[in-house]
Structure 1
Amino acid sequence: MNRTLKVTRLHLNKLSTFVVAPLSIVGLVMVVSVIIALAIQRSGASTDMASYIEGARYNSGIVWSLPGFLIYYGVQAVATTYPFGLALGTTRRNFILGTMIANALQAAYITVVLLILLGLELATNHWFMSVYVLDVNALGAGNPLILAATAFLGVMFCLTIGGFFGAIWVRFGAKGPAVVAIGLGLLLAITILILAPNLGTIFTGITGLGVAITAVIVIVVALAVTWLAMRRASVR
């Protein structure tokens, strides 16, 4: 356990990436959202209209702004930290577990930040300007429990997928991630072709719980493949 926690502490040493980068991204999204909302309001839209509120709640900027950074962070957490982890005397199993704990801490941190911002948004009547950043449909329309579950699982999903591709790179080299990505893309395309006649029914039947369960399954599978890839991985 001590070796596992050493790996976790190794990841937490990068505070500028762990703490500051997510805050910067969220802050930028908030600034852009304010500018867009004010532009819409100045065009004559009334903030009291139900149509304005309904449209504002479709702002998903905060949802799409973080995945790119998080996947990158997950890749480098495995690919660049792996040699240092082995230098600390950790096993590959300890490294995977320590990285998973660090990912969970990152997910919890971002979740808490978003919950605090949601509380401020609701308390200030949407930043005193009817600006909807976190009180949006994609995050539960103001429901803190849905936001917390969505944020935590979403961050863990992105970090784990990034770690998966990082492990493939460590194990198979530069061509590994490209081959895997192409293979997964083809599998997805074939699956869509097979399910095409029933896609409408499938999409209408999607629920939040179903999405959460799917995310958990993908996370577990990605962790298992990461572990298998790292078992025979050499230091690059």
Structure 2
Amino acid sequence: MKPLMNVTKMHLNKPQMMFSAPAQIVGTVMVVTALISLILQRADVFGGMGGYLGVMQQNNALVFALPGFLIYYGVQAIATTYPFALALGVTRRSYVWGTALANIILSAYVALLLLVLLGLELATDHWFANIYAMDVSVLGNGNPLVLVVTAFLLTFASVSIGGFFGGVWVRFGSKGPLLTALVLAIVVAGLLFLVVPFSQEIIAAITRPLLAAVGLAVTLLALLGTWIVMRRASVR
């Protein structure tokens, strides 16, 4: 347990990357959202407040903005700390699961950050200006539980996927992530080819619990894949 905790502390030793950067991304998204919202209201492009609210409640900016950084963070978290951890005598198993624990802490932090911002958004009647950043459909339309679960799973899945590709890079070198991404793209394309005829039925059957289960499954597969590829990984 102690080596695992040491790995977790190693990741927590980079607060600027781990905690400040996600907060800055969220803040930037909120500022841009506010500017766009004020411009749209001023221009009245949707023919009244009803049309405007209907559009802004579909704002997916945060869901699009965060994963890119989080996947990158997952890659660099593995690539930059793995050699140091092994030099200190940490086993590969402890390293992988210690990293997973650090990712859980990061996911909880992002979820808590968005929950606080949702509370402020609702308390100020959408920032006193009908600005919708947290109280949106993809985050649960103001439901705190849905927002927390969505933010946690989105963050955990993103950093775990990044960690998997970081592990592939450590194990196989620079061509590893490219070939892995190509294989995964072919698999996904094949699955889409098979399910396209049933797309309407599948879309109709999608629920939030189902999406959460899929997100959790992807996360667990990424963690398992990281463990498998790093079992024989050497220091680069």
2:66 corresponds to 1:41: no
Q: Give runs of aligned pairs for residues 16-95 of structure 1, distance below 5 A.
A: 16-44=16-44, 49-95=49-95
* In structure 2, distance between residues paired with 1:47 and 1:216: 41
Q: Equivalents in 1 of 2:75, 2:10: separation in Å?
A: 15
Change in 2 beyond 3 A, CA 1:11/1:47:
farther
Query: How many correspondences in the alignment?
Result: 236
C-alpha separation in 2, matches of 1:101 and 1:40: 42
Q: Which stretch of the first structure deviates more once superposed, 137-146 or 187-196?
A: 187-196
1:152–1:74 distance in 2 versus 1, CA, 3 Å: same
In the aligned structure 2, how far is the partner of 1:213 from the partner of 1:219? 10
Consecutive unaligned residues in structure 1, runs of 5 or more: none
Q: Tell me the equivalent position of 2:160.
A: 160
- The percent identity for this pair of structures is 49
Of the structure 1 ranges 47-56 and 163-172, higher mean CA displacement relative to structure 2 is found in 47-56
Unaligned regions of 5+ residues in structure 2, if any? Answer: none
Cα distance in structure 2, aligned partners of 1:185 and 1:81: 28
Query: Residues 110 and 151 of structure 2 are in contact (CA less than 8 Å); yes or no, is this contact kept in structure 1?
Result: yes
Q: Deviations over 1:63-85 (max 9, x none)?
A: 11110100000001111110111
Identify the residue that residue 209 of structure 2 maps to in structure 1: 209
Matches of 1:168 and 1:215, distance apart in 2: 21
Alignment match, 1:118: 118
Per the TM alignment, residue 49 of structure 1 is displaced from its structure 2 partner at its CA by: 3.0
Is 1:189 the counterpart of 2:189? The answer is yes
> Is residue 7–residue 95 contact of structure 2 (8 Å, CA) maintained in 1?
yes
Tell me the amino acid that sits aligned with residue 19 of structure 1. F
1:133-144 → structure 2 map (5 Å cutoff): 133-144=133-144
Q: TM-score, normalised on structure 1?
A: 0.97
Output aligned runs, 1:220-235, within 5 Å: 220-235=220-235
Contact 2:41 / 2:52 at 8 angstroms: preserved in 1? no
Q: Which aligned segments of 4 or more residues in structure 1 are displaced greater than 4 angstroms?
A: 45-48
Shift of 1:54: 1.4
Q: Distance in 1 between matches of 2:49 and 2:42?
A: 14
Q: Distance in 1 between matches of 2:175 and 2:46?
A: 53
Q: Distance in 2 between matches of 1:131 and 1:48?
A: 15
CA deviations 1:103-151 (Å, max 9, x no partner) are 0000000110000000000000000111000000010010000000000
What RMSD in Å do the two structures reach over aligned CA positions? 1.3
**Are the counterparts in 1 of residues 22 and 66 from structure 2 also a CA contact under 8 Å?**
yes
Moved more, 199-208 or 3-12: 199-208
Q: 1:205: Cα distance to partner? A: 1.1
Helix, strand or coil at the partner of 1:79: helix
Closer, same or farther in 2 for the Cα pair 1:154/1:47, shift >3 Å? farther
Moved more, 152-161 or 45-54: 45-54
TM-score norm. by structure 2 comes to 0.97
Q: Report deviation, 1:192.
A: 1.0
Instruction: Tell me, in whole angstroms, the C-alpha distance in 2 between the residues paired with 1:60 and 1:46.
Output: 18
State yes or no: 1:103 paired with 2:123.
Answer: no
Deviation at 1:152, TM superposition (A): 0.3
After TM superposition, the structure 1 = structure 2 runs for residues 174-185 of structure 1, keeping only pairs within 5 Å, are 174-185=174-185
